[in-house]
Every structure is written in C-alpha cells, then in structure tokens.
Amino acid sequence: MIVPPRWTEEELRAERDRAQELFRQERIQEPLEDYLEAFDEYQGTVEELLETTIDLSRLDDNAISVLANPALLEVFRYLAGPPISKDDLKIVSDAVLSPGRLKNNPEMVRRVIEVVRVGLDRRRFPWVAESREPTEPERSSAVLASAALMATSRVGRHAETSAKCVKRAWYVRR
C-alpha cells in the first residue's frame, strides 16, 4: 500500500506561493504580440465579411460563401451579441455546418442565418436594424469592436490553456 504524502502547513504555503509566482510570470509574459496578431487577422476577416455581404445587407444572397469559409463562419458567429459558439449555432438552428450539406439545403442555411440575425449585436451594427447603409464611423467601429472581441477571446482561450498546463505540470512535479 502506498502511503499518501502529508504536507505541513509551511510546505503547502510555500508551494502555493510558488504556484502563484509561476502564474504571475506566465500571465505577464503573455505577449501583446499574440493579441495584436490576432486583432490584425480578425480585422481583415471582419472587413472581408462586410464586403462579401455588402455591410450585411446581402447576407442571405451570400450565405453559402460565408458559411462555407471557416474564417468567415467564425466572424459570422461573432455578429451576435453575445457571440454564439459553433456547437450552439448547430443546435439552435438545427443545422449541420458542413459546406456540402449547406449547399444542398437552402432551408438549413436560412435557419443558420436567422439565428444570428435574431441575435445580431445592434450596438455594433445599428444600420442593419434601421435598413440603411452604415456611416463610415459606424462601419469602422463595428470592424474594430468585432476584431477586438475576437482577438480577446482567442488570447483568453490561450491563457486558460496555458494556465491549465502550468497547473498540470505543478501536480506532475509533486
């Protein structure tokens, strides 16, 4: 029988302090470059989606182009406020998001578009609800806000994954 380890209060406190210091170092070392790189990538993709759909006014006409492109599909999911996950979008719209299935099922495409349209962030895209073209400041703000939201989400997921790895490494070392 293996006897489980027993730590003193002092040993537990020291290990806690060490774990917190490792976390601080990891958190501080996360480069701003990751965020800026993700931001630039998403900014271009948000602009592409708006151009493809003529500022969302022709979303129905270009739905297959948007939904069949993984990068545009990701931006599409972030049009909603709050953004909708791919899994939730599939369930709520009762759809399969594979390009082949979508191309052969216009009703499924309509349901997917409708789910995001109903949840559209009206603060970022006020012109859609008002059935008009966006002003240049509105469009620029929507692109910047969407890119920032998506980049923050990506970097946040990376930080969570890194923190889990640090925790696992700490337990393995014990």
**Confidence grade of residue 26 (pLDDT, cut at 50, 70, 90):** confident
| pLDDT score for 157 | 75
Do 42 and 75 form a contact (C-beta atoms < 8 A)?
yes
3-state secondary structure 33-70: HHHHHHHHHHHHHHHHHHHHCCCCCCCCCCHHHHHCCH
Token pair, residue 48, equals 């592409």
Cα gap 151→28, rounded to integer Å: 17
| pLDDT score for 164 | 52
Nearest to 55 by CA among 142, 149, 146, 148: 142
Provide the strand spans (E) within 8-83. Answer: none
For the stretch 56-113, pLDDT in tens is 999 999 999 999 999 999 999 999 999 999 999 999 999 999 999 999 999 999 999 9
| pLDDT score for 156 | 83
Whether residue 152 is predicted with pLDDT greater than 60 in this model: the reply is yes
For the stretch 1-24, pLDDT in tens is 888 989 999 999 999 999 999 888
**How many Å from the N-terminal Cα to the C-terminal Cα in the chain?**
19
| pLDDT score for 168 | 54
- The packing angle between helices 136-173 and 9-29, to 10°, is 150
Whether residue 161 is predicted with pLDDT greater than 90 in this model: the reply is no
